[in-house]
Amino acid sequence: MGVLTDRLGPRTAALAGLLTLVAAVALTGLASQNMGSVTFGLILLGLGWSATTVAGSTLLVATLTPAERVPVQGFSDATMSLAGALGSAAAGPVMGLTGYSGVSALAAAVVAAAAVALLRLRVPR
């Protein structure tokens, strides 16, 4: 993903990752009864997560001075880990109430919000 981010640029790589996440939640949400579709959707989920994480870190670092990079990146990583832990804890009850379709719809809303934020982002050159 680092090579992809270097070649495409972090904004384009992040958008590609978000599109991959949209495909993942579409597969898991719309074809949740098909094990092959869910499996492929989960593979896409991992690829999309990886692309957006690497590209997002690159975008973040581009806005910081060298002295700010380590503490801000550390805070960003800790926040992402906390969000992952909270999301994992919430996913079980949401899955129990709404199934794969509900989890996927919620994930699609989060991806849409991230895409809007990315498109509005102004990155200094």
CB 18, CB 114: distance < 8 Å: yes
pTM over 0.75: yes
Read off the tokens for 31.
């074809």
Tell me the pLDDT of the chain averaged across its residues. Answer: 90
Does pLDDT of 124 surpass 80? no
Does pLDDT of 120 surpass 90? no
Query: How confident is the model at residue 104, as a pLDDT?
Result: 86
- Segment 75-90 shows an average pLDDT of 92
- Segment 72-98 shows an average pLDDT of 91
pLDDT by residue (tens digit) across 14-73?
Answer: 999 999 999 999 998 888 888 999 899 999 999 999 999 999 999 998 889 999 999 999
Share of the chain above pLDDT 90, in %: 62
Contacts 24+ apart (CB under 8 A), 104-112: 104/25, 104/26, 104/28, 104/29, 104/30, 104/32, 105/25, 105/29, 107/21, 107/24, 107/25, 108/22, 108/25, 108/26, 108/29, 111/18, 111/21, 111/22, 111/25
Query: How confident is the model at residue 125, as a pLDDT?
Result: 59
Give the pLDDT band of residue 102 (cuts 50, 70, 90): confident
Read off the tokens for 107.
């994930």
**Cα torsion 110, 2, 118, 80: sign:** positive
